[in-house]
Every structure is written in structure tokens, then in C-alpha cells.
Amino acid sequence: MSSYALDNLLPYADPGVQVDGAFGLRVAAVQNTDLHLTRVNSDSRLIIRGIPGTRWQHELSARWQELDEGGNPPLWREPVLSSFEREDQVKHPRVRNGERELAWLGSGLLRRIALFHKSSSAYSTRSWITGGEWIFELDTRRDVPLDHDTLLARLMDPVWGLSLRISDSHCTCHNPPLPDRYMRQCTYDLVHTEGKPGGLQIRFRHGRAIYGRNVREDLERVGADSAWLDRVLPQRLADDSSEAFE
């Protein structure tokens, strides 16, 4: 996971084409299993804490070497915006403007990241961006009650939440039950209350645990909080073999 994070986050140049990774992101420090990230011309810090045994320095060196040998200059040690990044800004204004337009949402969500495990019944949260929209897919196991109202209420809380309102929704909670092999989904579209560009779609899925056979065991092994696990992935009874993990 640490190597996956670095592959996706750290900026590097594809000379003459574009800059990949998070534009302007820099590595500020490594302290044990903490990776401190910052941005050019900023004092802000984002700390990514790895599980015990994470070797950030080793991963950083490996990533540096891999890019360097492939002819892709790594940019995360540059003290200022590199010439590659400046050139990219000029060549791809639409891409960079699109990113900036979603920044209020990314920043707001990052500052409330704990909501996704404290206020949700999902054991898995994934997200991606497409066409100016941030899509989240939250999976709740069938034998755990699906709760989407708590998370939505906190995301839109008038004091602590983001300036969001629901623009569209489709809730299937009161529909007749589906056969076991199907997943049920409730979908909520959220937009900025004052019309800023960019929106959020949250797909609350309810069904079989589809990500791996031994999700709970995998999460226990990397030190996941046991109270959280008991809530979102409770142990099954020994004779409960009616629903296979698939």
C-alpha cells in the first residue's frame, strides 16, 4: 500500500508530455512510519501514517531509481515549482483548472476523512474522479444494517460539514429484498450550496462482501481497530455458511 500511494501521489515528469502524480506535491520529511507531505510555497503538512513495518525511505529510494532509470525526472525534492511543472501549467490549462475547481471538495473531504470510518456502516470506501464529479463507492456487508443517513447528515452539517446539498437521490432501502446474488444501491448526488463547480456522488452498496475472501483477517493483520471491525465486519457464527465470501 505504501508503494501504491507513492506511485500515485509523487509528481514526476514525462518530458515534453505532462507531469504525472500530484502537481506541486513535495516530501517534507519521514519520521518512522509517518510520511510528511507538503506543497511548494506552503507550510501545510499532510501526514500519511503507514502500518508498523512501513519503510518509507526504502520505498522513496526505489521509486526514485525506477523513475530516473526510465527517463522520468522525479520532482518531489524540487524546492520550487520545477520547469516541467511550469511548462505543464501552460500546456494543459484545462486539466489543471479542472483540478483547481475540485480543490474545495478534496480539501473539505480530506479534513473530514474520519467520517468515512466513524460515521459509515461501510467496510470498504473507494473513490475516483470522472468528468468533474467525485464518486465514492461505499460497501456495507449484507448482514450489517446499511446506514447512509448518518454520513450524509455529517457531511452536510451546517456547522462542521461542507457547503453541500442533495441535488438528486435514489434510495432502495424500503424496496423488496433482492436475491442474495445482487447488490442493492442507494445513490446520492451532492452539489455545492452556492453553485461552485464540481460535485459528489455517493453510492451506498449493500450486499455480499466482494473485496477478497478474508477481508476481516487482512485488516486485522495490518492493525485495524477491532471495535471498528466488530461494527462493519462482525465475526460470523461458525455455522453461518449460507453466504459465502466471494
Q: What is the contact surface with Zn ion in residues (CB under 5 A)?
A: 171, 173, 186
Nearer to Zn ion, 30 or 156 (CB): 156
The nearest distance, CB 189 to Zn ion, in angstroms, is 14
Nearer to Zn ion, 47 or 173 (CB): 173
The nearest distance, CB 162 to Zn ion, in angstroms, is 21
Radius of gyration of the chain (CA): 21
Nearer to Zn ion, 19 or 200 (CB): 200
Nearer to Zn ion, 205 or 216 (CB): 205
The nearest distance, CB 81 to Zn ion, in angstroms, is 45
For residues 207 and 172, give the distance between their C-alpha atoms in angstroms, rounded to a whole number. Answer: 13
The nearest distance, CB 163 to Zn ion, in angstroms, is 23
The nearest distance, CB 151 to Zn ion, in angstroms, is 12
Nearer to Zn ion, 26 or 206 (CB): 206
- What pairs with residue 19 in β-bridges? 13
Let me know: does 9 contact 21? Beta carbons within 8 Å: yes
Q: Are strands 34-39 and 25-31 parallel, antiparallel or unpaired?
A: antiparallel
The nearest distance, CB 186 to Zn ion, in angstroms, is 3
For residues 232 and 141, give the distance between their C-alpha atoms in angstroms, rounded to a whole number. Answer: 7
Nearer to Zn ion, 26 or 203 (CB): 203
The nearest distance, CB 192 to Zn ion, in angstroms, is 23
For residues 21 and 140, give the distance between their C-alpha atoms in angstroms, rounded to a whole number. Answer: 30
Nearer to Zn ion, 153 or 173 (CB): 173
